[in-house]
Chain A
Amino acid sequence: MNAIAHSPHAHAPISVNRVMALVMLALTPATLFGFWLYGWPAINVWVMSLLAALLGEALVLRLQQRAVRPVLMDGSGLLTAWLLALSLPPWAPWWIAVLGSLFAVIISKQLYGGLGQNPFNPAMAARVMLLISFPMEMTTWVAPAPLGSIHAPGWLEGLAVTFTGSQVDGMASASLLGHVKTEFTRGIGLEQALSGYYAPLDALLGSRAGSLGETAALFLLAGGLFLMFKRIITWHAPVAMLIGVVVPALIFSAVSPAHYAGPLYHLLSGGLMLGAFFIITDPVTSPNTATGQFIFGLGCGLLTWIIRTWGGYPEGVAFAVMLMNAATPIIDHYVKPRIYGRNRKGVSMSIEPLKKES
């Protein structure tokens, strides 16, 4: 007896693998830029993250006695590890990458039931775990040293940085957000803190200290636009997140420029661009409706700005995303599309008797 095939008997040329592959493709320019900017150690971190995710997920699936191949092939674990790697300091030790990846795929994803079931963005949950547990390793930044330049470590030197924790002199640097926060605590005003430290053009091009893949604002923007063009993501969440950061930055910097940085500074620093286009657009952990996604993005942006401005940490994207992930079920509960022929409350539109034409 054949199983009855239900309509529709046609399908759009789309699959989970394809979605994941397109997102990875969109991430590639920013990633390659990060590799070039920070050299061999960055490549090592990326490779270790992906390997650990594959092995960790395979192990858990084996323990659950589920088929390993189809799950690994869907690409979601790889993408999670990729996003995590982009949010790590480029010269982070190997075990940071491995621990983060294992946490992301095993604890943040598979323990909740696997793909589609996790309430929190696995990459951000892993990053927050690492940041809280290993603040030293997670906030040690390096100045850009493009591959081939004099300061760039060679391949062997790169391995030494990643696997033995050897330091290269004169490379340590602070991220812009971290630097400003430190200067604020020393009572130094914004203008002075920024002088000689912040060049918007460099920031736009990504040539600054920061996480592996978060600095290339233009490449991230291009990747995001590509995903919108391919209809993998919509504009709602990213645009809302940028608004959520820009609007308060604009208002506060206008009122008190000495204490609050302007919108451009916020847009081009930290993980905002990566977060807006690649993290909060994660379908699993964001709301279902366009309006819901807009609210979600707005919340992510506002919380990011609040944490950056008044919080204990210099950067707030990961925390903001996790907080809004927690709010997703509530947003989905209240924001629903209106059903045809019904009002917003789900009640049928009234049937008025038609008047007879006289």
Chain B
Amino acid sequence: MKLFKLRGGVHPEGWKGLAAERAIRVLPLPERLFVPLQQHVGAPAQPLIKVGEHVLKGQIIGASQGFISAPVHASTSGRIVAIGDYTAAHPSGLAAPTVTIESDGEDRWLETDSPSDPFSLLPEEIAAAVGAAGIVGLGGATFPSAVKLNLSRKNNVRTLIINGGECEPYITCDDRLMRERASDIIEGVRLIRYAVGAVDVMVGIEENKPAALASMRAAAAGTEVQVIAVPAMYPMGWDKQMIRALTGREVPADGRSADIGVLVHNVATAYAVRDAVRFGRPLVSRLVTVSGGAVAEPGNLEVPIGTLVETLFQYCGGFSEKPARMVLGGPMMGIELFTAAVPVVKGTSGVLALTAREIGSTQASPCIRCSSCVRACPVGLLPLEMAAHIRAGDSNAAVSRGLKDCIACGCCSFVCPSHIPLVHYFNFAKGELMEQERGKLKQEATRKLADERIARTQRIERERQEAAEKRKAAREAREFAAKQAALQTTTEVA
């Protein structure tokens, strides 16, 4: 198939060899699991259990709140020992509401009814099952999948794209999943296709994963699913890049992929959809790549949600040397971890322990306007100009140059010969803008309250006057009536 031309992108050292040939291993059940109530984009889940309660694996422990949200389930059977704040996987090290489960060692599933043929379900029943299973975008975006399915069905999406790009260096969990569980993925893909009524189905896989391509092609043979090799380059796994490569179309800046009739899901999401729809099993575990130069035995683990990152490192033989930096996610977009005592969440594709040599120098020097960043940017921005404006304290000028279109992929920082932390600048400015916007909203709310207060006092005053007038009128009427009556009496007497 003819692929379409892409813009920008970089070719970082892949380091995939560290873990790519290591088959998936199931992590032994940890004693305690720390399941955060917010693992998705949108509103956090509302806890449904009490401390001391016994739960089964797959039992719902947090209910979805609002339109964009997802439920959270117990990742093993055991006792709830705490509901409260626990350190979250965020560079701030701040805590987030988390449910702590002490495993009873049985790992017993909640019994559920499951359909004998999932294709006998109605499309909206599939979407509902996906929503109830707490499935979110497992490529890292963690957007609730059911919301995407419903939106796509309403928009008459024609094309379903399954993203097997996995362009982040080191990360190989999708690669392993495609090699080892291809037929399950394909079944999940077909379920999604059926749920949204798509016509064309394409699975895009980077050409640097020949084994995954071969096994997926074999599994897709005879189905309506096309498996297509796409160029190996970062950020191939950016959904909009994948759309451009496979369809030649671009998602409008102010729109969603559904607006051009395309729905994109990750391969791991498709796998989770199959588990949810066929077996009624919610999303309680995922594949995580443990890698990096400082990890003794890198590998790919199947991990219950809520397992601490340190447990993963320990299982992989600990550190061969003291890591210079621990990263959650891939090296291009992942976040730095100051402690490994944070839980794995639905969006965790990898945990890395990197050596100083792998990270490279971070000493920034002046911009030489070489425009490497302009060539690298997959969006078509001018990172050097945006950064110059942000440095000068003018975030709004950066907005007029497309700051809001920046996807923080890190290509610009990666290629910068001056080692300028461009993405850092952009995220700083985005934060500042959010602050501004919040300030504006607050100001508006205050003004609205003030206006309402004025209107209220005016109304009260007016009502008081009206009441007074009414009373006066009533009194006058009474007096008049009394006078009349008196007059009448007088007349009668006379």
For residue A15, which residues in chain B have a CB less than 8 angstroms away from its CB? 361, 365, 417-419
Q: B252 contacts A349, CB within 8 Å? A: yes
Residues of B within 8 A of A16 (CB): 365, 368, 417-418
With beta carbons under 8 angstroms apart, the residue of A7, A74, A352 that contacts B334 is A7
Number of interface residues of A (CB under 8 A): 49
Q: Are A351 and B333 in contact (CB under 8 A)?
A: no
A4 vs B427: C-alpha distance in the bound complex, in angstroms?
13
- Whether, in the assembled complex, A12 has its beta carbon less than 8 Å from a beta carbon of chain B, the answer is yes
**What 0/1 readout, one digit per residue, does chain B (240-262) give for beta carbons within 8 Å of chain A?**
10001000001111110001010
Bound CA span A350–B253, Å: 9
Question: Bound complex: CA of A336 vs CA of B333, how far in Å?
Answer: 26
Stretch of A134-142, A168-176, A266-274, A337-345 that contacts chain B:
A337-345
Q: Please state if A7 and B253 are interface contacts (CB–CB under 8 Å).
A: no
- Cα–Cα distance between A200 and B152 once the two chains are bound (Å): 68
Q: B367-400, CB under 8 A of A: which get 1 and which 0? A: 1111110110111111011000000000000000
* Nearest chain A CB to B25 CB, angstrom units: 25
Contact with B along A26-48 (1 / 0, CB 8 A): 00000000000000000000000
Contact A348-B252, Cβ < 8 Å, known A7-B335, A9-B336, A341-B240 = yes
CB–CB B252/A10 < 8 A: no
Task: Please name all residues of chain B whose beta carbon is closer than 8 Å to the beta carbon of A341 when the two chains form the complex.
Answer: 240, 250-255, 405
Let me know if B254 and A19 touch, CB within 8 A: no
CA distance A340 to B254 in the complex (A): 11
Cα–Cα distance between A271 and B332 once the two chains are bound (Å): 43
Chain A: minimal CB distance from B472 (Å): 62
CA of A115 to CA of B365 in the docked complex: distance in angstroms?
A: 9
User: Quick check: B417 and A288 within 8 Å, CB to CB?
Assistant: no
Question: Residue on B with the closest CB to A14?
Answer: B417
Query: Known contacts A288-B371, A339-B381, A354-B155: does B360 contact A74 (CB below 8 Å)?
Result: no
Chain B interface, number of residues (Cβ within 8 angstroms): 69
Indicate if the CB atoms of B379 and A10 lie closer than 8 Å: no
**Chain A residues, Cβ within 8 Å of B358:** 9-10
A19, closest chain B residue (CB):
B417
Q: Give complex CA distance A9, B414 in Å.
A: 8
Known A11-B414, A14-B417; judge A342-B332 contact (CB<8 A). no
Q: Give the chain B neighbours of A340 by CB distance below 8 A.
A: 7, 240, 244, 250-251, 253, 378-380, 405
User: Is the pair B423, A283 in contact by a Cβ cutoff of 8 Å?
Assistant: no
B362, CB-defined interface residue at 8 Å: yes
Least Cβ–Cβ distance between A287 and chain B, in angstroms: 8
> Is B18 in contact with chain A by the CB < 8 A criterion?
no
Query: What chain A residues lie within 8 Å of B347 (beta carbons)?
Result: none
Beta-carbon contact of A76 and B368 below 8 Å: yes
Is B42 an interface residue, CB under 8 A from the partner?
no
A357 and B402 alpha carbons, distance in the complex (Å): 36
Whether A5 and B362, one on each chain, are in contact in the complex, defined by CB atoms closer than 8 angstroms, is yes
Residues in chain B near residue A116, CB distance under 8 A? 366-369
Give the CA-CA distance A246 to B412 in the complex, in Å.
36
- How far apart are the CA atoms of A332 and B333 in the complex, in Å? 29
Interface membership of B192, Cβ < 8 A: no
Most chain A Cβ neighbours within 10 Å, of B244, B354, B415:
B415
Q: Cβ of A289: which chain B residues have Cβ within 8 Å of it?
A: 371, 374, 382
Known: A6-B421, A11-B414, A116-B369. Contact between A348 and B325, CB under 8 A? no
Q: Does B156 contact A (CB under 8 A)?
A: yes
**Residue from B333, B338, B369 within 8 A of A288 (CB atoms):** B369
Residues of A near B368 (CB, < 8 A) are: 16, 19, 76, 115-116, 283-284
List the A side residues contacting B253 at CB < 8 Å. Answer: 339-342, 348-349
Q: A193 CB to closest chain B CB, in angstroms? A: 42
A196 within 8 Å of B (CB atoms): no
> A64 within 8 Å of B by Cβ?
no
1/0 per residue, CB under 8 A from B, across A323-349: the answer is 000000000100011111110001011
How far is it, in angstroms, between the C-alpha of A285 and the C-alpha of B335 when the chains are bound? 36
Q: In the complex, are the beta carbons of B374 and A337 less than 8 A apart?
A: yes
Q: Are B365 and A11 in contact (CB under 8 A)?
A: no
A179 within 8 A of B: no
Is there contact, CB below 8 Å, between A19 and B370? yes
Q: Would you call B137 an interface residue if the criterion is a C-beta within 8 Å of the partner chain's C-beta atoms?
A: no
Tell yes or no: B494 within 8 A of A by CB.
no
A residues less than 8 Å from B44 (CB atoms): none
Residues of A within 8 A of B378 (CB): 340
CB distance from A9 to the nearest CB of B (A): 4
B28 within 8 A of A: no
Instruction: Determine whether the beta carbon of B354 is less than 8 Å from that of A9.
Output: yes
- A256 within 8 Å of B (CB atoms): no
With contacts A341-B250, A341-B252, A341-B253 taken as known, whether A9 is within 8 angstroms of B327 at the C-beta atoms is yes
A70 at the interface (CB under 8 A from B): yes
**Alpha-carbon distance A7/B354, docked complex (angstroms):** 13
CA distance A338 to B224 in the complex (A): 35
Smallest CB-CB separation from B415: which chain A residue? A12
Which of B254, B366, B424 is in CB contact (< 8 Å) with A115? B366
Measured CA separation A284–B250 after assembly (Å): 33
For A284, list chain B residues within 8 Å (CB): 368-369
Q: A289-B371, A340-B240 are in contact. Are A6 and B423 (CB under 8 A)?
A: yes
Neighbour of B361 across the interface among A11, A19, A117, CB < 8 A: A11
Q: Report chain B residues within 8 Å CB of A187.
A: none
Minimum C-beta distance from A297 to chain B (A): 14
B7-28 vs A, Cβ < 8 Å mask (1 yes, 0 no): 1001011000000000000000
* A-B CB proximity, top 4 nearest: A11-B360, A8-B410, A341-B253, A6-B424
What are 13 sample pairs from A and B whose C-beta atoms fall under 8 A apart? Answer: A4-B91, A7-B408, A11-B360, A12-B12, A18-B417, A234-B375, A283-B369, A337-B380, A339-B380, A340-B253, A340-B379, A341-B251, A349-B253
Given contacts A11-B413, A14-B415, A339-B381, 17 further A-B contacts (CB under 8 A): A4-B91, A5-B336, A9-B352, A9-B358, A9-B359, A115-B366, A283-B370, A284-B369, A337-B382, A346-B402, A348-B253, A348-B254, A351-B259, A354-B156, A354-B157, A354-B158, A355-B156
